[in-house]
Structure 1
Amino acid sequence: YPLIAYINEARRSGIEILGPDINQSRHTFSIEGGAIRCGLDEIRGLSQSTIERILAHRPFTTVEEFACGVRPRVDELINLINAGGLDSLPGSRGEKFLRAMAVMRCRSLPLLPPVIPRIPEERSYLKQWEILGFIPDRHPLEVVAPDRRMKIGDLKEGSTAGITGLILSRRLYRDLTFFTIDDETGILDVVFSGHPGLVGRIATFVGRYERGSLKVRLLRLIL
């Protein structure tokens, strides 16, 4: 299974997952109190040399300290911010980007810097999912499809239902596809006639729930 499957299972088991933090994260996942902290290695596009500079120069109290000590590439800065790695520093994500860029380009900000609108919460979560491969504090379905009537944990034997899930894996046997999907309440095997390559996508499956799996007659892609 992909990493997100284990993250989701840990969260369902009551373990708190903490996002990356330039002042707290190590290279890889680590235990922090009773929680699991995401490592800096999980941030897409972040080089090992930049990670080493973060570890060597921290702690940071302002984004200016971070930019001056670490000097990340622009794409690294963007991914660090969107992953939530600088959330412990003052200012919005947009403000931190401008202030860091001003330091790295040796420019001063105007006395009255432009007002930067906050990024909508849903977009912030989707960016974090894109960069980390998961959302630390919630299942992606809670962002993409928060108003679902039926969840995996609600399924009853013999019932016909529509279930929206994140596709974790796919196995093929003759003309059948066996998906494993999950949501914030559990994990489910799905049987579908056809071979769509949808791993990592979110879809709604409509079918009959029997003996622990959903026999699907209709599939609709959500994201």
Structure 2
Amino acid sequence: MKPKLLLIFPFVLLFFAACKKGGTVTPLTSKVTISGTEYATVKIGRQEWTSVNYNGPGGREAVFNIPTDPNYKKYYTLADLAELKLPSGWRIPNIADYNKLMSNFTTKKDTDGNYVGDYEQTLALRSATGWEVRSAEDKQGTNSSGFNAFPAGYYTDYKDNETPGNLALFLTSTPLPPGKANVHASYYSFIVTRLYVTPSSDDFTHCFSCFLGQGLNNNQPKSVRFVRDF
């Protein structure tokens, strides 16, 4: 039995080396080159995610009435990314990818079977800077997951970014089912707010576009991340 124990021992050491005090796993980071630019990545569960927003060719650059955070980068639709060549294994996330990501942090699901995270889960996914803090009880994100969701909001027809500081809205490649698709959105989004997080239908651009009188607002450009399995 001793040889087997000796073989197992290095893997046990490796596991504990990846952990902080209290059992919190330290995110494992790496890099990937997309369209000639190097992007930081993080391994979460059995997935590897880009941990900064895509900033490649095409897309939209927003201007807002406050200094724009350089971490926001550009906003894209699926049509904007139609010609994008990704490295082998990498893809634009679908709703299953975001649900798999969420399964590392919560067991709660909505009536459609999509994972839903509360305040503690959104803290783990949010970037450690850039979020609006509205009270003494409110906090910046901890980014303990390494996902690093910046509150870039989304791009509007007025060429600005709406709700910066309060919302991160990420593109997915999954169409909404016929019963959920509407004039405001035909694809799922990954929504990270100050209070909750979920892969869901795009209700945020719907709400704010109506308030701003922007009409149908169908599938507004959003922040983009990429993912692969390993």
Normalised by the length of structure 2, the TM-score is 0.26
Larger Rg: 1
Point out the structure with the larger helix share.
1
| Higher RCO structure, 1 or 2 (CA under 8 Å, sep 6+) | 2
